[in-house]
Each structure stands twice: as C-alpha cells, then as structure tokens.
Structure 1
Amino acid sequence: MKKFNLLYIVLIGLVTGTISSCESKLDQSPISSLGSNAFYQNEEDFITALSGVYNGLNAYPINHFELSEVRSDNIYTPGTAGVRDYNLINNFNRNLEATSIMSDTWNGLYNNIMRANTLLANLSADVVQDEDLRTRIEGEAKFLRALFYFDLVRFYGKVPVFDQPVTPLEALEIGRSEVPVVYDLIISDLEFAITNLPPNYTSAADFGRATSHAARGMLARVYMTRSGPQVHPAGPALGTNEWGEALEQLDAIIDSDQFDLVDNYADIFAYDNENNEEIVFDIQFLSGGQGVGGEYVQYHYPEAFGRSNGIPFAGGTFPDAPKTVSADVMDSFNDADVRDDFSVWVNYFDTNGNLVQDRFIKKYLDLDNLGVDRFDFELNFPVIRYSDILLMKAEALSQSGGNQLEIDALVNQVRNRAGITLPLIGVSYEQIMEERRREFIGEGLRWHDLVRSGMAIDTMTEWVEEEDDANKIATDINSDDLIYAVPLNQLDVKEGLYQQNPGY
C-alpha cells in the first residue's frame, strides 16, 4: 500500500471536535469527551489521529499556488469580467479581509493546528507504550504543526500561538504574537522532529511521512526566511543573518547521500515515478474516487481546456479569469531549457475547434492519468525537492560570502539537468533567484522567494509596468503588501483582540 496519510477516516471527526461551529473562535474549540480522551485508547487510535493531521496538508498546494504563485511575477490573472479571489490577490487589492480565500486559509491552518495539539495533549506512555513509536508520532505531529505555523507567519505575519488545546473563552484572551515568538515554536518543533524522526522509511506504507531530513529542509527554509531583510516590521523576514544555521541543515541533507536529482526534469512529476530520489518531502494523493485525490491540479488549467480534453467534471479556471503564465517568465527561459515546454501548456483548441491563446501550468497534468473527476488527480505534490536543497545552499552561500566556485557548481548542476550545458560563471544572487523561478515554476515558491530576498517590491513594480496590459494591478506596491489581511471574521470575534495589518 502507498499514500497512507490522506485517508479520510470517520473517527477523525471525533478527534477534532466541533470544528464548524467554532471557526470564529480560531478553531480551538473544546474537545468533547468522546472526541478526545475517550477516543485515544490504543496506539492505532493515535495513528488514525495522526492521519487526520496529515490530511490538513490537502489544501497546501492550493494555498501556495493562490497566495504565492498567483501573487508573483509568474502568473498574470487580473480578471476580465467577474472578480475571483485570486484576481484580487494578483491585483494587490487592499480589501482582502472579507474574501473567502483569507478566511479559509486562516481557519484551515488553525483547524490543522488544533488537530496536532489535541493529539499531542493526549499522547502518553500509558496508551502508547512503545517509546520509539510514541516519540515518532510526537515528531511527526510537531513537524506538521511547525509547517502550519510557518505558513501562517508567511501569509499573515503576527498570529496567535496555541501550543495546546484551549477553550473558546480562553482563545478570546489570546492575541496575536510577535513574529519572533511564532518562530520560536516553529524552530523548537522542527528541532524536535530532526532529533526524533528517522531519516527515511523502508515500508512503502510509510512513504510521505515526515523524516528528519524533511524537518532539516523545512528548518533551513525557516532560517533563510528569517534572514532576509526586514522590509515589513511584522513580516516573516527579520534580518537575522542565520545563513550559517541554514547551511548546517542543508549540508546534513546533502551529505546523507540519500537524495539526488533525477536525470530528466519531467520524471520528477511522472505519475509512475512518485517518491523518487529527488523528493525530500511531498504530499501524498490517491485517485479512484476515494475522496483523497489532488484537487490542486484543476486550479491551473482553463475550464475550456478541461472539457475539450475529456477531463471528467472538468472544473478548471473560469473563462473570465484565466491564470496565464506571464510573458516575463517565459522569456527568461534559455532555448535549450526543457523546463518551460514541460511546465507550461501554450495555446489549445476548445470544444468548438477554436484556437485559444493562453499559457497555463501543466507540470502536474497527465491526460493519460485522469481520475473520476476534477478532484481526483493522483499525483503527489512536492513540498521540498533536492534541487531546492541545492539552490537554497547556493543562496545561503551567496548571502554569507561563501565560495564562488561552489555556488557556481550548485547552480550549474541544476541548470545542466534542465538541458543547459553552457555553465554560468560568477553566479550572482539575482541569478540564483531567477534560476529558482524557472526550476520551481508553479510550485508555490516564487512570492516567498521574493519576500525573503527583499526583491518583492522592486520586482513586482517593474513587472506590473511591463505586463499589466489590463491596468488592473495596483501601481503603488509597498511593504504593506508583503503580508495579507487578517480575515474579517477574526477581527469580529472580539473587538480589539486583533488589529488589522497595515494597508488593509
């Protein structure tokens, strides 16, 4: 068996308590007696509950495409008629607090954190007597909690910190913590995961579980995000200059010899090559109408394309709001580069045989591997790849005055796999970030990279001037735009508990 972690299990509803009725209370609802202590009776109950925490990753690919890729210079989707939430994201709209994408992301992440906290609060030697298993469960839950909080701090800046279940009344007394305080919990959780999780799993049934290397890769990403210049006073970049700490984690992954680049870029995303040697951590999906397929794939292609190519219950982006891959990123690819042809679909015919001129992300789409509907794509989603490890190391070396020959070698290793045999010499920081842009197009990293690098405002301002033919994107992009609006339903929970982020 494969892909253990996204199975919907009815009992998870018992574990997580009364979720829907308490979303306005930060999803930290009190746990019913049947849903907590009475549920955790044996080791299998904790494995079931842990699967419920992993299930929270379902929305990860969608969140990062909509809030990172669409926000960046990789995607141009101003909207032509109706206004979708992702059009407002693309357009740097300053009235985002009432949108469903803001509230769904915030509530979803806190729901996931509640699940992790409930599991951790009930985990004990009395029930899980096997110490190795108990420690591994704790490590996995803490890895996931760290990942959810890292998303929150990158999207919203200051957020409330809950490291254990609380009642709604208790939640009403807990305000937003400063960003360094949020990072303290994230780093502590990841350090625990590094120390207590195995480097790999030998059973296919465990593929997709967090490992010590996954935690190292995420911790490196955390250190690098913190190290970026502090452009926004409450944003995720703090100017901490922890490049050396990041390098320590990245070198441990590289020196393990457990990972490598696959020979062909397309093979990373092949439906018959999942869990390959390039994957440090990914999100597992199934197909076959079991309710655990990858809905994220349909967030890229146009609805008309889906219908004309036989995708059942096609879904896709709306006719008035295509998510067009930008001309700027397409022009950045070298003629020898294989990544643009594989990653981007250029033009298609609709059901009437009319040519539609558009460009969209297709690296996750295989028309020979369709599920029963648009929610049912099987392909796993990569969160951390080995090429990311290599390019993060090049970035950290560049930022810390590292050896230029080593920087060049790391970047050229990734470029060579992409088909570019002419090496770069004296690779600059800007060139590293552009290489990341091409390597990870459509993977939800670009906006985070721009914020971390301190390049977001200048890059997007220049891009809007060149790309925005519809004149719908804000022309006064500034530091306030580096994080998103606190959802209106959270501001309304209790007057004065939270303050809106500046600019919204």
Structure 2
Amino acid sequence: MKRITLYILIAILFSSCNDMLDEVPMDFVSRSNFYTNEIDAQGALNGAYDATGPDFYGITHYLMVELHGDYLNGRGSQAPISIMDQVLNQQNIGRCETNWLTLYRAVNRANAVLDNVVNIEDITEGARTRILAEAHFLRAMAYFELVRGWGPVPIKTKESTDLSELESPRMYESDVYDLIIEDLLIAEKDLSEDIGAETGRAGKWAAKMLLSHVYLTIGEWAEAASRANDVINSGKYAMVQVTEPDDFYKIFASETSSEDIMSIHHSETSTSTIPTYLHRGSAYPYNNSSTGYFAWLPDMNSFIGDSWDTNDLRKQFNFYEKYQDSDGNWVSLPSTVPVLMKKFINNADGLNIYSVPIYRYTEAFLFYAEAACQAEGAPSDLALERLNMVKRRAYGYDLNTPSPVDYPSGMSKDEFVGTVLQERAYEFMVERRRWFDLKRTGKVKEAFAAVGKNIIDERFFWPIPEDEINNNPAINQEDQNPGY
C-alpha cells in the first residue's frame, strides 16, 4: 500500500494521526460528539487556520517559493532549487510533495468546516455566516498556492473522510481560478470590515487583497484595481512612516501594525523558523539562537546589488555584513558568505516577536498601480502617485509630498508595469512574491538571464507527487508535469 493511502487509512481507523501526510485531521473525524454548537464550529475553523502553519504553509513551502526567485541562491541541500537549468533532484521533489500534501490538508480542513457548520443548530446565524466565510477564504488561499505552483490540480470541494473519495482529476487552471473567485466573492461579502487587532484571521479587506491578487494574476485588470482601491480607501490602514532603516521593524517586529491586513503572528513561545534559514548561528543581534543554516543566500549580482540605490532605506534594512560575537565585538561575515538578510530576525531584545505577512497595506498601492495601468493602457496620475508613495516611504520622505526620488510621468504602459514590478521586488523581499510575480508577468527568463542563469521550461511548475499519481485513480503518469 502506498504512503498516502496508508496514512489516510490510519487516520480513518484510529483518528489519531498527527503526521503532516494526514489529509483527514483528527479534529474533524468524530462526528458523534462534534459539530454540535458554536464552540465546535469555531474549533473546527481554528483547525483550518492551523493548517497554514507558523510560516505560511510551513517552512518547506516558504523556502521553495523563495528559492525560485532570481535574487537568492540556496545553500546545502537547498542549492539545487536555485539551479534552474535542470529539473529538481529527488530531495527537493520530496519537498514539493510535502507542500502538495500540506496544501491539500488545508483544503480538506476548510471543506470540513463548510460541510458541517451549515448543519449546526446551536449557533447564531451571524457566527455561522462569519465562520463559513472564513473557511471559503482559507480554501481559496490554499488553491491559489496550488494552481500557481502546479498548474492544473484536482479540485476537492467536499471533506475527504474515506478512501473512496481519493479519485479526482487534474482540472484546468481556469476551473481552479473560478472556484477561487467564487469562494472569495462569498468571503468579501460576508466577512467583517473590522477585525481589530485580530489580523491573524481573515476579514473583508484580506478577502479584497486576495481577490485583487488573483485578478492581477489572471489579467482581470479592472477588477484587480477596483479591489485594491477599496482597501486603500477603507480608512482602516496606514503605511508606517520610516525615517531610518530599522523603522521597518515597526511593520514586522510587532504583533500588529497600521499596515497589517493579515499575517501570521509570532512570539517568544511561538517562533518562526524563517530566521534559522536566513542567519548563521549566534549572529547577534540578528539570530540569538545557536542554530543557523544561512541557507538562503542573497545573490548580489542580481538587482539587489550595485544597481540598487544605497539611499533606499530598504536596502540597508534587508542586508547586513557584520554581526556581534559572544564578546560583543562586531565581526565581518566570512568572505564566502559576505552578506546575509535581516528582515526576519530572532534575538534576545524582543525583536523576534514579529509577523509573517500574508497581506499588508503597502501592497494595495502597488496592486492598484499595476492593474490600473494595464486596464487603462497607460499610467494615470493616480497610479503614478500611488507608486511614488511607496518609493517616498522607502527613502524616508513624507508619503504625500512630491520628492526628489519620485518616478517621472510620461512612462509607457510597459515601462510603468516594469517599474512597479521592480518596486515590488524591493518592497516584498523574502515575502513569497518574486517568483510568482515573474511568472505572471512573463519575465522569468529575462530576469534569470540578467543574473547569468538559464532556466528550463520544466521548472515553471512543480512535480505532482508520485503517490498522488499511484493512488488517485483519476491521475496517471501522463498527467505529470513535464520533466518528471
């Protein structure tokens, strides 16, 4: 019996499997005493949120997305991920399998909420509507990662509870996006406009941000601009003002900030593993832990090197060349790894209490600028102004006042869209954006050529897990993505 089948069978028979391969979480399998009231419904929803993990579907998904970008190189076992002129090796094919299973576990938990909460009697209608809307959002978010990573994927809209429900064919990408949009329109309508400091869960504005992102990805420009504009004009958020590089920690090194639309929050007792992959061990003040892989290495031959203006405070914020040793002396990083990244850190001064962003307010301005330009055929004054507001903040200028670093008017549509793409690269470094931005804009090969790398077409989509092919009757080896 293959691995997926074995784990699902264990889950069904014993309701106790905690392994990440378990697609039927133990929270949901006992229906005789569950799904009876509002507390149960909220508990099921919390289980669906838990599937996102501490680092947005787990560190394995995070690293696979990041190391497909053009400005990072993997180190150690992750090095082959960044060698884009060959298919993934077996170890990293295994990482793709982990990500597939993690995302479908998230889908299944959301489906469990949607299937069962509708039938609960002891619950207010307001709570039911909210919980179902959040589940629709979570399912959409998981499918957005799946379709962008693998292309056509199986669509599951009902909870899997036994082996007879494994059969599901790969569906066209357009069908997957139809489901994502259907889910998000429900979420947009039914989610609360005000979730206060609870930015770890979805509200209306997070739904609009995800909708804008989806519409941008599939080229529905007017819809993308409209949703981003709604968020900008909501009055709920504000960009954090920056005057020196470490001011950016006000965005990340806190439980919430004025531009936090949705994020995964961490504390000293609930930490992320992202810093472990960015830093050396005991590299104070960036990593107080003795563990450090420094496995995501910045490629200074890319756009983050000499071509990036050093007056941009984001450059100073994102990189460091020296750290303090155990005696408090500042020492240079070794010549083999002279620069590391410091957006996400872990130290003894409390700065490890930070958020891993899912969506932040600044992105709405760049969503709008790009989408409005595409929709209108040229950059409007408003699109240019919103792009410039992001750049002004990066240089420490007042957001609403013209500055010496403003981008000029008169750009063509293509020039403007390329400028927005570059601004996104600076703004959202190590935030899971660059690879998918390059893919959706058709700029992958151009960007990799700029850093002296070739990329083969087989690397545009990740391999379907062999166990899925072996155990899903609706999929066979002919359905595998090219190269695998």
TM-score class, shorter-chain normalisation, is 0.7 to 0.9
Tell me by how many angstroms 1:298 deviates: 1.8
Q: Partner residue of 1:213?
A: 205
1:396 and 2:371 correspond: yes
1:408 and 2:384 correspond: yes
| Aligned residue among 29, 35, 38 for 1:40 | 35
| Superimposed CA distance per residue, residues 57-90 of structure 1 (whole angstroms, 9 cap, x where no aligned partner) | 224163564123211112123x4xxx41x32221
Q: Indicate if the aligned counterparts of 2:369 and 2:379 stay in contact, CA closer than 8 A.
A: no
The SS at the match of 2:170 is coil
Q: Flag the 1:482–1:495 CA change in 2: closer, same or farther, 3 A.
A: same
Q: Partner residue of 1:296?
A: 274
**Whole-Å separation in 1 of the counterparts to 2:18 and 2:138:** 21
What is the CA RMSD across the aligned residues, in angstroms?
A: 2.9
The SS at the match of 1:323 is strand
Q: Indicate if the aligned counterparts of 1:65 and 1:444 stay in contact, CA closer than 8 A.
A: yes
The letter of the residue matching 1:72 is: G
1:226 and 2:221 correspond: no
Q: Partner residue of 1:383?
A: 358
Q: Indicate if the aligned counterparts of 2:28 and 2:112 stay in contact, CA closer than 8 A.
A: no
**1:306-455 to 2 correspondences below 5 Å:** 311-312=288-289, 314-317=290-293, 321=295, 323-328=297-302, 329-348=304-323, 355-357=333-335, 358-365=338-345, 367-369=347-349, 377-400=352-375, 401-419=377-395, 421-422=403-404, 423-426=406-409, 427=411, 428-455=416-443
| Aligned residue among 489, 492, 498 for 2:470 | 492
Q: Partner residue of 1:195?
A: 189
Tell me by how many angstroms 1:496 deviates: 6.8
**Whole-Å separation in 2 of the counterparts to 1:209 and 1:187:** 19
**Whole-Å separation in 2 of the counterparts to 1:287 and 1:491:** 41
Q: Indicate if the aligned counterparts of 2:425 and 2:434 stay in contact, CA closer than 8 A.
A: yes
Q: Flag the 1:156–1:450 CA change in 2: closer, same or farther, 3 A.
A: same
Tell me by how many angstroms 1:378 deviates: 3.0
**Whole-Å separation in 1 of the counterparts to 2:19 and 2:323:** 44
Q: Partner residue of 1:287?
A: 268
| Superimposed CA distance per residue, residues 388-415 of structure 1 (whole angstroms, 9 cap, x where no aligned partner) | 1101111112222144322221111011
**Whole-Å separation in 2 of the counterparts to 1:453 and 1:383:** 21
**Whole-Å separation in 2 of the counterparts to 1:440 and 1:125:** 41
Alignment gaps of 5+ in structure 1? 1-12, 228-241, 372-376, 466-474
Tell me by how many angstroms 1:55 deviates: 1.3
| Superimposed CA distance per residue, residues 338-370 of structure 1 (whole angstroms, 9 cap, x where no aligned partner) | 001111122446679674242222112153446
Q: Flag the 1:276–1:355 CA change in 2: closer, same or farther, 3 A.
A: closer
Q: Partner residue of 2:88?
A: 95
The letter of the residue matching 2:164 is: E
1:251 and 2:234 correspond: no
Q: Indicate if the aligned counterparts of 1:125 and 1:131 stay in contact, CA closer than 8 A.
A: no
Q: Indicate if the aligned counterparts of 1:344 and 1:359 stay in contact, CA closer than 8 A.
A: yes
Q: Indicate if the aligned counterparts of 1:64 and 1:443 stay in contact, CA closer than 8 A.
A: no
| Superimposed CA distance per residue, residues 158-181 of structure 1 (whole angstroms, 9 cap, x where no aligned partner) | 111111113443333212111111
Q: Flag the 1:111–1:414 CA change in 2: closer, same or farther, 3 A.
A: same
Q: Flag the 1:115–1:361 CA change in 2: closer, same or farther, 3 A.
A: same
Q: Flag the 1:128–1:208 CA change in 2: closer, same or farther, 3 A.
A: farther
Identity over the aligned pairs, expressed in percent? 28
The letter of the residue matching 1:453 is: T
| Superimposed CA distance per residue, residues 465-487 of structure 1 (whole angstroms, 9 cap, x where no aligned partner) | 4xxxxxxxxx3x14332221112
With normalisation by structure 2, the TM-score equals 0.83
**Whole-Å separation in 2 of the counterparts to 1:254 and 1:326:** 34
Tell me by how many angstroms 1:459 deviates: 1.2
**Whole-Å separation in 2 of the counterparts to 1:268 and 1:214:** 21
Tell me by how many angstroms 1:37 deviates: 4.4
The SS at the match of 1:381 is strand
| Aligned residue among 116, 134, 145 for 2:139 | 145
**Whole-Å separation in 2 of the counterparts to 1:33 and 1:382:** 28
**1:57-76 to 2 correspondences below 5 Å:** 57-58=52-53, 59-60=55-56, 62-63=59-60, 65-76=62-73
Q: Indicate if the aligned counterparts of 2:255 and 2:353 stay in contact, CA closer than 8 A.
A: no
Q: Indicate if the aligned counterparts of 1:136 and 1:197 stay in contact, CA closer than 8 A.
A: yes
Q: Indicate if the aligned counterparts of 1:160 and 1:175 stay in contact, CA closer than 8 A.
A: yes
Tell me by how many angstroms 1:22 deviates: 9.3
Tell me by how many angstroms 1:44 deviates: 1.2
Q: Flag the 1:497–1:327 CA change in 2: closer, same or farther, 3 A.
A: same
The SS at the match of 1:282 is strand
Instruction: Select between 68-77 and 190-199 the one with higher mean Cα deviation.
Output: 68-77
The letter of the residue matching 1:94 is: V
The letter of the residue matching 2:261 is: V
Tell me by how many angstroms 1:457 deviates: 1.6
**Whole-Å separation in 1 of the counterparts to 2:271 and 2:132:** 27
Q: Partner residue of 1:501?
A: 481
The SS at the match of 1:191 is helix
| Superimposed CA distance per residue, residues 229-267 of structure 1 (whole angstroms, 9 cap, x where no aligned partner) | xxxxxxxxxxxxx10111111111112121221102744
Q: Partner residue of 2:448?
A: 460
1:105 and 2:99 correspond: yes
1:53 and 2:48 correspond: yes
| Superimposed CA distance per residue, residues 115-134 of structure 1 (whole angstroms, 9 cap, x where no aligned partner) | 11112211035434301111
Alignment gaps of 5+ in structure 2? 1-10, 398-402
| Aligned residue among 224, 236, 255 for 1:274 | 255
| Aligned residue among 475, 481, 486 for 2:459 | 481
Q: Partner residue of 2:125?
A: 131
**Whole-Å separation in 1 of the counterparts to 2:224 and 2:348:** 40
Q: Flag the 1:168–1:96 CA change in 2: closer, same or farther, 3 A.
A: farther
Q: Flag the 1:173–1:335 CA change in 2: closer, same or farther, 3 A.
A: closer
**Whole-Å separation in 2 of the counterparts to 1:33 and 1:156:** 27
